[in-house]
Amino acid sequence: MASRADASPPGVPRPLALGRRRLVARVEPSRSATLLVPVAAVLLTLLGGTVLFALLGQSPLAAFHAFFIEPLTTRYGIGEVLLKTGPLLLIAQGLAIGFRAQVWNIGAEGQLLLGAIAAAAVALTLADVESVWLLPLMMLAGTVAGAAWAGIAAWLRVRFQASEIIVTFMLSSVALQLLYYLVSGPLRDPMGMSFPQSALLHDAALFAPLLNGTRVNTSLYLAFIATAAAWLFMQKSLPGYRLQVGGLAPAAARYAGFAERRAVWIGLLVGGAAAGLAGVGEVAGPLGLLQRSISPGYGFAAIIVAFLGGLHPLGIVPAALVMALLYVGGDMAMVSAGLSNASTTLLQGMLLVSYLACSLFATHRLVRVKPREPHA
């Protein structure tokens, strides 16, 4: 034992043994490995998905084609992928800022719903207003509503030390019930029989179409503006730097006077605002009204997107595209290969599991150890 312990100087993390090989922590995460990890995770998920389809008695090739190739062969399919990229990218950028500071907002789904509700409420209240300022007003309302919903968790965390993980999740379940209540009561379309949905939003309250023959609309710009903003904030600004230091080394951050409370507030408010804005994009985009189902789990999928993108504003862009493809592929596979939509959630889970497993090789490297001489 003594000889091995002596081999690594004090302060250097000790290696893990893995048979003949040893895993040694890298001083700094390897750059190339950091880029390879998400690629490896996607490949592993494709492999896992193929095995899964085979187990389910489907032809793996047909399912694979329907899931990952077919959406990219038509203009409509590409449009659908872009349509779903928008909210995923927007929410993931907001979440990643909190995650980097170790603030775990897992209730983006509820914050998205609040944004959708607020935007729809504004549009329905101002149903006879045709101003170009209506849509910006809805965006403002949605952003504020999403941030406020996340703000409840931030306040409970800084005031009462209540875990933001649990509170944000619980609040998203509450938000869903709030939506159900509103669409079956106060915001229900009085002319709409008894369907639990609001009246249709008028044209001034909708984002303009962006690409002919698709459902993509101008709200997609918001996601890219958010990406640029997140990049500037995280990579170039002092507050962004403070936030990251707080996440990496809380003690050092406290010593340097970077307040933990501030990180909690910023992390949750930014995540909530982004999710709220994504909610506006859904009601004022493909939906055009408020109904019981607003989002196919974008708020939860965005957590995976944020991790898959390495919590880096630029990495999150391809990650969002991959996740959007998974969604659209799931829908298409249901139609063309008779697969259930449920496979999407399972593949999402596989994706994050593979990513986390592969990440080890970005922070550690495998070193082959010579068989040791028997002790004299």
Q: Does 74 bind other proteins (CB under 8 A)?
A: no
Q: How many residues of this chain bind other proteins (CB under 8 A)?
A: 55
Instruction: Quote the CA–CA distance of 90 and 83 in Å, as a whole number.
Output: 12
Instruction: Quote the CA–CA distance of 214 and 163 in Å, as a whole number.
Output: 42
DSSP 76-103: HHHHHHHHHHHHHHHHHHHHHHHHHTT-
Q: Does 246 bind other proteins (CB under 8 A)?
A: no
CB of 170 to other proteins, least distance (A): 4
Q: Figure out which of the listed residues 336, 363, 365, 366 binds other proteins, where binding follows CB under 8 A.
A: 363
Q: Does 199 bind other proteins (CB under 8 A)?
A: no
What track of x and - describes contact with other proteins for positions 202 through 241 (by CB under 8 A)? ----------------------------------------
Structural contact between residues 265 and 97, judged by C-beta atoms closer than 8 angstroms: no
Q: Does 166 bind other proteins (CB under 8 A)?
A: yes
- Nearest Cα residue to 84 out of 347, 226, 303, 286: 286
CB of 204 to other proteins, least distance (A): 31
Instruction: Quote the CA–CA distance of 260 and 154 in Å, as a whole number.
Output: 11
Instruction: Quote the CA–CA distance of 85 and 73 in Å, as a whole number.
Output: 17
Q: Does 16 bind other proteins (CB under 8 A)?
A: yes
Q: Does 160 bind other proteins (CB under 8 A)?
A: yes
Residue range at the interface with other proteins (CB under 8 A); choices 75-83, 165-173, 200-208, 230-238? 165-173
What's phi and psi for 185, nearest 5 deg?
Answer: -135, -105
What track of x and - describes contact with other proteins for positions 52 through 71 (by CB under 8 A)? ----x---------------
Q: Show the DSSP H helices in 101-204 as ranges.
A: 108-125, 134-160, 164-184
Structural contact between residues 164 and 104, judged by C-beta atoms closer than 8 angstroms: yes
For the CA atoms of 80, 83, 85, 90, the dihedral, rounded to the nearest 10 degrees, stands at -170
Q: Does 338 bind other proteins (CB under 8 A)?
A: no
Q: Figure out which of the listed residues 92, 120, 135, 156 binds other proteins, where binding follows CB under 8 A.
A: 156
What track of x and - describes contact with other proteins for positions 100 through 139 (by CB under 8 A)? ----x-x---------------------------------
Q: Does 328 bind other proteins (CB under 8 A)?
A: no
Cα–chain center distance at 179: 21
Q: In what order do the strands lie in the sheet with 16-18?
A: 16-18, 21-25, 364-368
CB of 127 to other proteins, least distance (A): 25
Q: Does 167 bind other proteins (CB under 8 A)?
A: yes
**Chain contacts with other proteins (rule: CB under 8 A):** 4-5, 13-17, 22, 25, 56, 104, 106, 156, 159-163, 165-167, 169-171, 173-174, 177-178, 180-181, 184-185, 300, 303-304, 307, 340, 342-350, 352-353, 355-357, 359-360, 363-364
